[in-house]
């Protein structure tokens, strides 16, 4: 095992030791080893601030919102709407009513797909890419089946990038929506979304971005991107599960019908006719995940502290990624590994296979050593088909990971190699 301390390799202002103390789940043993958590692309861990915020809400503040005149209801309503305001400011939406609370990225994408049922017809086209998560494939397949529209797919090259020339040839006046991920969950590829959006807009097509894997690693400005819709999840952003956000431009959200019917999304109801509420409530039927919204606000507040910040988070995670790739080479592992997703512009995700070893076996042995990675197709079966493999091992880093943990991963992979060598 490596005994050298690599903390001085961190060139950002982040105090990683202090940050790690804020995440209680990290301080435990798994199978007799200190936990190394490298499954952040699936779900990130939660700082104590988020845990305390949720606990305090349920302990002392809980009440339903928007409909009560008593103290607890009024206070909960204020905090819920303050969470919306925090998110508006974080992503730089023009208005807070452009921020719709959802169950997560999948829910937000389905909301838009459902709304486009009345817009698309036979002969229209929806464009996605070969990099998409199933959640940004299946809803559009269902939409096309319902409307008679056609789904077009932008192919990717060998290093996991969208082939821009193919995209330019696909987008046309028939294109009624382009839906792409900002960052690939499997390959880590950061797509050139501004350029892709500009090309879509030249043909009059709106764009939805799946931002589930982007928000944890970078600052996102939806006005600068100029996308019509942007969806993301709280649990990948150090917040709770079951809460997410759909950003939509005001004009588009006003144009689309409600996704669900029920309380809070109405102005008036009679047996003859219902009048819908204004934004954002039109898309938030029923009692929302109040604690989740407060927890998501707490997660953003935590990450946006002056001593942290998303610029430093992204820089540090990039250092971890660079270090890992160099260590694979220097420790003699690279020749025994196949890497998938090697674009220059990528997030802190390494998707790989040890030659001759099934990814499940690699993941199982690493778990015995206290190292948590993800194995399988990562809800991106078309990517696996593109590379003609059953799946990969995915190590995904966060800003609470360390260089020492990368060394632990490498030592673990050496053990796997030796066992199957």
Question: Which tens digit of pLDDT belongs to each residue from 82-107?
Answer: 999 999 999 999 999 999 999 999 99
Q: Compute the distance between CA of residue 254 and CA of residue 9 in angstroms, rounded to an integer.
A: 50
- Single out the residue of 216, 237, 234, 250 nearest to residue 289, CA to CA: 234
Q: Compute the distance between CA of residue 76 and CA of residue 32 in angstroms, rounded to an integer.
A: 43
Mean pLDDT of 187-196: 98
**pLDDT of 6 above 90:** no
User: pLDDT tens digit string along 366-415?
Assistant: 999 999 999 999 999 999 999 999 999 999 999 999 999 999 999 999 99
Torsion of CA 357, 359, 363, 364, to 10 degrees: -70
Mean pLDDT of 273-283: 88
Residue written as token pair 């030791």: 17
Quote the tokens at residue 107. 């829910």
Q: What is the pLDDT of residue 278?
A: 87
Of 179-188, 261-270, 278-287, highest mean pLDDT: 179-188
Quote the tokens at residue 199. 């090309």
Q: What is the pLDDT of residue 418?
A: 93
User: pLDDT tens digit string along 312-345?
Assistant: 999 999 999 999 999 999 998 989 999 999 999 9
User: Where are the domain boundaries for CATH 3.90.1150.10 in the chain?
Assistant: 7-30+309-420
User: Where are the domain boundaries for CATH 3.40.640.10 in the chain?
Assistant: 51-303
Overall fold of domain 7-30+309-420: 3.90.1150
**In whole angstroms, how far apart are CA 168 and each of 96, 140, 175, 226?**
34, 20, 12, 18
For 34-66, the DSSP string reads E-EE-BTTT-----HHHHHHHHHIIIII----S
Overall fold of domain 51-303: 3.40.640
Q: What is the pLDDT of residue 8?
A: 54
- Beta carbons within 10 angstroms of residue 69's beta carbon: 6
pLDDT class of 10 with cuts at 50, 70, 90:
confident
Backbone angles phi, psi at 349, to 5 degrees: -130, 130
**pLDDT of 2 above 50:** no
- H helix runs in 64-207, sequence order: 71-91, 105-115, 138-147, 164-170, 193-202
- Give percent above pLDDT 70 in the chain: 98
Quote the tokens at residue 175. 């294109």
- Single out the residue of 88, 135, 127 nearest to residue 109, CA to CA: 135
- In the three-class reduction of DSSP (H, G, I as helix; E, B as strand; rest coil), residue 115 is classed as helix
- Cβ-Cβ contacts under 8 Å for 244 (sequence gap 6 or more): 101, 102, 103, 104, 105, 106, 107, 108, 231, 232, 233, 234
Q: What is the pLDDT of residue 4?
A: 33
- Cβ-Cβ contacts under 8 Å for 255 (sequence gap 6 or more): none
Question: What are the E-state strand segments in 214-336?
Answer: 229-233, 244-248, 266-269, 274-276
Active site residues: 379
User: pLDDT tens digit string along 200-209?
Assistant: 999 999 999 9
Q: Compute the distance between CA of residue 177 and CA of residue 128 in angstroms, rounded to an integer.
A: 9
Provide the whole-model pTM.
0.95
The Cα angle at residue 38 between residues 355 and 208, in degrees rounded to 5 = 95
């Amino acid at each position: 095992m490596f005994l050298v301390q690599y903390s001085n390799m961190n060139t950002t202002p982040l105090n990683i030791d202090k940050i790690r103390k804020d995440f209680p789940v990290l301080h435990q043993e798994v199978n007799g080893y200190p936990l190394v958590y490298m499954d952040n692309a699936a779900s990130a861990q939660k700082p104590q601030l988020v845990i305390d915020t949720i606990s305090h809400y349920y302990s002392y503040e809980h009440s339903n919102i928007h409909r009560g005149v008593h103290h607890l209801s009024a206070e909960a309503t204020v905090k819920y709407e303050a969470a919306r305001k925090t998110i508006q400011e974080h992503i730089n939406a023009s208005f807070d009513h452009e921020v719709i609370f959802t169950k997560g990225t999948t829910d937000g994408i389905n909301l838009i797909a459902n709304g486009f049922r009345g817009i698309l017809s036979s002969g229209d086209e929806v464009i996605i890419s070969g990099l998409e998560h199933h959640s940004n494939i299946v809803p559009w397949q269902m939409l096309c089946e319902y409307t008679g529209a056609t789904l077009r797919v932008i192919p990717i090259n060998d290093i996991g990038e969208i082939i821009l020339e193919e995209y330019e040839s696909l987008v046309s006046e028939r294109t009624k929506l382009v839906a792409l991920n900002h960052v690939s969950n499997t390959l880590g590829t950061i797509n050139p979304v501004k350029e892709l959006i500009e090309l879509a807009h030249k043909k009059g097509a709106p764009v939805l971005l799946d931002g589930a894997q982007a928000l944890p690693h970078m600052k996102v400005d939806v006005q600068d991107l100029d996308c019509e819709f942007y969806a993301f999840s709280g649990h990948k952003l150090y917040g709770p599960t079951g809460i997410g956000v759909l950003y939509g431009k005001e004009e588009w959200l006003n144009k689309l019908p409600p996704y669900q019917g029920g309380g809070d999304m109405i102005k008036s109801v009679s047996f003859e006719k219902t009048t819908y509420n204004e934004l954002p409530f039109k898309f938030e039927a029923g009692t929302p995940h109040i604690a989740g919204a407060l927890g998501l606000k707490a997660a953003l507040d935590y990450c946006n502290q002056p001593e942290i910040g998303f610029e430093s988070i992204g820089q540090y995670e990039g250092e971890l990624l660079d270090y890992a790739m160099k260590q694979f080479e220097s420790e003699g592992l690279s020749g025994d590994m196949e890497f998938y997703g090697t674009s220059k512009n990528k997030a802190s995700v390494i998707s790989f296979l040890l030659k001759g070893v099934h990814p499940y076996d690699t993941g199982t042995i690493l778990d015995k050593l206290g190292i948590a990675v993800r194995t399988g197709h990562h809800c991106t079966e078309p990517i696996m088909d593109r590379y003609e493999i059953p799946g990969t091992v995915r190590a995904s880093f966060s800003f609470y990971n360390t260089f020492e943990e990368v060394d632990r991963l490498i030592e673990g992979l050496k053990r796997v190699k030796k066992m199957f060598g």
